[in-house]
Chains A and B, each alone.
Chain A
Amino acid sequence: MRSHQGKCGYLRLDGYPSNGLEQVSDSGIDKAFLKDQFPELIDLSDSHHASRSQQGDLLTLIELPQFQSPQQAGLMGMDPRVKNQLEALQLHPDRYLHFGRDPELPNKDTLEFKKLESFSLSLKASVWDPPSLNTLWFELVNGAYGDVYRAKALMNLPDGRSMFFNWIVSQESSQFLPLEEISAPNGRPASLSELVVQGKNLDGLRIQSTIDLCLLNDAVLEMHQMPLRDRQKEAIPST
C-alpha cells in the first residue's frame, strides 16, 4: 500500500461460520491501524464510500476470516458467497492470499488447532505502565496463559503514544509499531484500544487479572503526564 501511487481502500468482511469452530468478531484493530498509517484510507464498509470502490486507481485490501483451508489455490479457492459479496460492491480481487499457504504470509504454523479459541478485551481509555506491558506481552506470547497462535492489540502509553502489537506463532518475534497519531498527555485517550488473542486453553480470567495489575490508575497516570505537560509548556516560546 505504501508503494501504491493512487488511493487506498480497506474492506473487512465477516466471513461465513463453520460448524464447531469458534468465530472471530472484528475488533477494529486493523482498520484503526491502517487509518492511522494512511489517513486518506477509504473505508469501503461505510456505505457512503462504497461507490468509490470503482475508482480505477484504488488499491483495496480486503480482509476475510476463514475457518478452513480453501479447496484450491488462488482466486479459484475463494468461497463463492464471498465472490458474490464483492461483486455487489463491484470489486474483483487480483490476488487471494491465505495464511499457511502463500509465501507472502507465514506458513510454518507449529501448533495444531482443531478448535480455535478466541479472547478479546476492550481496553478503551486504559493506559499501561510501559515495563508492565512489556512483561505481559512476553508472558502472553510465550504461553503463560495458554497456547497463543495469534495476538494483536492497540495499547495506550502514558506519554500519549499508542502502539500496535502483532504476534503470530510462526514468527520469531512480535511486531511493535507506534501509531502516527499521538494524544495530548492530558488524561485518558479516546482512541481505540483492544486486545485480541487466539489459541487454545486460553485462561481469559488470568489474562484479565494480570492486565488489571498493569494498568495505571488516575493518580499514577497524572504523575506520568504532569512533567510532560510542563515540558511542552516550556517548549512554547512566550510572547
Chain B
Amino acid sequence: MNHAIISCLHANLPAAEAVLNDIDRQGIDTITCLGDLVGYGPQPNEVVELIRNRDIATCQGCWDEDIIDGLNACECSYPSQLAERRGHLAHQWTDDQLTDENKSFLASLPTSLRRDRLLFVHGSPNSQHEYLLPDMDAFAALERVETAGADILFCGHTHQPYIRELRDGSIRVRLQNADHDCDQGEELTLPMRKIVNAGSVGEPRHGSTNATYVIHNDATDEIEIKEVPYDVGRTCQAIVEAGLPKVFAWRLSHGFEFAEQAEDASHVCER
C-alpha cells in the first residue's frame, strides 16, 4: 500500500494545500508529516490547523520544538550569525501569531513515529536539529539507522530530498584489553538500510521552487520523490505583507540549492 511522507511545511499554506491535493488525487490516505509546520512562512496557524483538521500523524520538527521551548532547545545549530538573527526575527513573529491551541498541539507532538520497520523523524533519531546530509559519512549514517532499529529511516530538515541506500554494511568492534594478547572482536553484517529524505513542502532548496514529498510502497519498498508546483507568488506576497524579511520571499521564489550549513552539520546539542 502506498503512503505519503511530507516534511518542512514552514507555514506555507499554498504549498501545503497543493501537496495534499496531489496526494489525494492518487488516492493515498496514509500520510506522515515529519514536522516543521511553522517558521519562515506567513501562515503558521493555517498550516497547523490544516494538519490538525486532517488528523495527519506528525512528529515534532526543530521549529516546532523551538517555538514551544522559547529558543532554548538549541541555538547552536544556526550555521551563521545572519541565519541566527533572521531565525530569531521569524521566531518572534511566529510566536506572536500562533494561537495557544496551536502551540499546545505543537508541544504535544512526539519526536519520532514508528510503523513496524519504518522510522519517521524530523532531523535524525538523535535530535530534531541534526542534519542527515546525503553525503554524510556512510558509517555514521548507518549507525543512525541501525541504532534506531529501523530498515528505512524517513527524515527531513535538510530541505533537499534524497534516497540513500546503505548496502553491504558491517560494523566491526574490536576490544583491546590492557593485556594485548587478549583481543575480543565481533563483526556484525547488516542488511541494506535506507535513509529517505522527503525534502520540503514549504521551503524547497533543491534547485527548483516546486514542493517535494515522498511516496513509499510498504509492500514493494518502492520509493518515489514527487515534485509539486504551487503558487509561489502568493506565498511571497503574503511574506512581504506580513512584514517578514523580504529575503525569505526572494529565497523561496528562486528555490536555490544554496543553503547555509553549520561547519559540523551532524552536530548534536548536548544541553
Chain A residues in contact with chain B, CB under 8 A? 129, 131-132, 134-136, 138-139, 142-144, 206, 210, 213-214, 216, 220
A220 and B80 CA atoms in complex are apart in Å by 13
B85–chain A nearest beta-carbon distance, Å: 4
B246 touches A214 (CB 8 A): no
22 contacts between A and B (CB under 8 A): A129-B80, A129-B81, A129-B82, A131-B81, A131-B83, A132-B80, A135-B80, A135-B82, A135-B83, A136-B82, A138-B258, A139-B250, A142-B254, A143-B250, A144-B247, A206-B247, A213-B81, A213-B82, A213-B85, A213-B86, A214-B80, A220-B81
A131 touches B260 (CB 8 A): yes
A210 and B254 CA atoms in complex are apart in Å by 19
A84 and B156 CA atoms in complex are apart in Å by 66
Q: Chain A CB within 10 Å — which of B80, B250, B251, B258 has the most?
A: B80
Top 8 A-B residue pairs of the complex, sorted by shortest distance between their CB atoms:
A131-B80, A132-B82, A129-B81, A132-B80, A213-B85, A144-B250, A132-B81, A213-B82
A176–chain B nearest beta-carbon distance, Å: 15
A210 and B81 CA atoms in complex are apart in Å by 11
* B246 nearest in chain A by CB position: A206
B254 touches A139 (CB 8 A): no
* B86 nearest in chain A by CB position: A213
Chain B residues in contact with chain A, CB under 8 A? 79-83, 85-86, 246-247, 250-251, 254, 256, 258, 260, 263
A218–chain B nearest beta-carbon distance, Å: 14
B79 touches A131 (CB 8 A): yes
* B263 nearest in chain A by CB position: A131
B82 touches A142 (CB 8 A): no
A138 and B258 CA atoms in complex are apart in Å by 9
A163 and B156 CA atoms in complex are apart in Å by 35
| Chain B residues whose C-beta falls within 8 Å of the C-beta of A142 in the assembled complex | 254, 256
A138 and B86 CA atoms in complex are apart in Å by 16
| Chain A residues whose C-beta falls within 8 Å of the C-beta of B80 in the assembled complex | 129, 131-132, 134-135, 214
| Chain A residues whose C-beta falls within 8 Å of the C-beta of B81 in the assembled complex | 129, 131-132, 213-214, 216, 220
A180 and B31 CA atoms in complex are apart in Å by 57
| Chain A residues whose C-beta falls within 8 Å of the C-beta of B86 in the assembled complex | 213
Known A144-B250, A213-B86; 6 more pairs at CB < 8 Å? A131-B79, A131-B260, A135-B80, A136-B82, A138-B258, A143-B250
| Chain B residues whose C-beta falls within 8 Å of the C-beta of A214 in the assembled complex | 80-82
A165–chain B nearest beta-carbon distance, Å: 16
A206 and B86 CA atoms in complex are apart in Å by 13
* A132 nearest in chain B by CB position: B82
B244–chain A nearest beta-carbon distance, Å: 13
A129 and B80 CA atoms in complex are apart in Å by 7
* B254 nearest in chain A by CB position: A142
| Chain A residues whose C-beta falls within 8 Å of the C-beta of B251 in the assembled complex | 144
| Chain B residues whose C-beta falls within 8 Å of the C-beta of A135 in the assembled complex | 80, 82-83, 260
| Chain B residues whose C-beta falls within 8 Å of the C-beta of A136 in the assembled complex | 82
A206 and B256 CA atoms in complex are apart in Å by 20
A142 and B255 CA atoms in complex are apart in Å by 12
